[in-house]
Each structure stands twice: as structure tokens, then as C-alpha cells.
């Protein structure tokens, strides 16, 4: 089930959004990653995966608790686990490095502020009666 939300963009961010093949997917991924940065989330998926203490990186949506740099490319998994593998076991630093190369477009949300912008803080409007009262004071 999809829930429709609207986003207010300026001209520059609108052009960026138009260039993305799937804006909704991009926003969902950013929200998942942001949730991990503000919470101490725990992976609720089946662990271990292929003998490592992380879940399957190809289950969607990607678990950013186990795979903070995103999912590694399938080729990296094949190189580390296939019959003719370069590595005799899954080497996590290698997979993390490959994931970072593949997902270099992902935004680092670790320093993201959840405080509203000053523009977003609205002063409550005074009623018409309150305005007249101020004139007489």
C-alpha cells in the first residue's frame, strides 16, 4: 500500500528530482537511512547470511543497519563466494568498499539536522479582535 505525501521543492531541487529515474525510491531510501542515524535500530531480518553477521544485502529495501554503505554489487559477492572466487571467504571490508563505490551517489545523512528551518516556524496569527485591542493599548 502506498501513502501519498507531497514535498515542497525549490527550483534547484526540483531539477535534481526531475533527473532521478525514481524520485519516490530515492526519498524512501533517504528516510530509511535517516531513521538509522537517529535511532539505534536493530536488524530484524535473518542473520547470519552466508556465514557473516549481516543480513542479505539484496532484500529490498536495503537494510542500512547491516549495510550502511548500501548493497554491494552482485559481482563483488560472486568474486567473494563463487566457485572461482578470488577470496576464500566473504571479506566484509572488500564488500563495504565495493558497496561504497557502487553507491557513491548516496547522501551521508549522519550529520543531518532534524530541527526545522526558521522559515518553517510560523508565528501564530492574531485575531482581528486582538489587532484592534492592540490599537487601543
The 10s digit of each residue's pLDDT in 20-52 is 888 888 888 778 777 665 565 678 888 788 778
Q: Domain locations in the chain?
A: 11-136
The reported pLDDT for the residue numbered 87 is 46
> Is residue 118 pLDDT above 80, yes or no?
no
The reported pLDDT for the residue numbered 112 is 58
Confidence at 92, pLDDT banded by 50, 70, 90? confident
Cα 88 versus chain centre, distance: 32
Burial of 67 (0-12, 13-18, 19+ CB in 10 A): buried
What's the pTM value of the predicted model, to 2 decimals? 0.53
The reported pLDDT for the residue numbered 42 is 79
The reported pLDDT for the residue numbered 15 is 93
Confidence at 80, pLDDT banded by 50, 70, 90? confident
Amino acid at each position: 500500500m502506498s501513502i501519498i505525501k507531497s514535498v515542497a521543492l525549490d527550483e534547484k531541487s526540483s531539477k535534481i528530482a526531475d533527473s532521478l529515474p525514481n524520485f519516490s525510491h530515492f526519498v524512501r531510501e533517504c528516510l530509511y537511512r535517516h531513521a538509522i542515524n537517529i535511532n539505534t535500530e536493530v536488524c530484524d531480518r535473518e542473520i547470519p547470511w552466508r556465514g557473516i553477521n549481516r543480513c542479505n544485502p539484496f532484500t529490498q529495501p536495503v537494510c542500512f543497519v547491516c549495510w550502511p554503505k548500501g548493497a554491494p554489487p552482485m559481482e563483488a559477492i560472486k568474486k567473494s563466494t563463487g566457485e572461482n572466487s578470488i577470496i576464500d571467504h566473504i571479506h566484509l571490508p572488500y564488500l563495504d568498499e565495493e558497496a561504497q563505490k557502487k553507491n557513491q551517489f548516496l547522501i551521508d545523512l549522519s550529520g543531518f539536522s532534524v530541527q526545522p528551518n526558521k522559515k518553517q516556524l510560523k508565528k501564530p496569527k492574531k485575531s482581528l479582535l486582538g489587532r484592534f485591542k492592540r490599537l487601543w493599548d
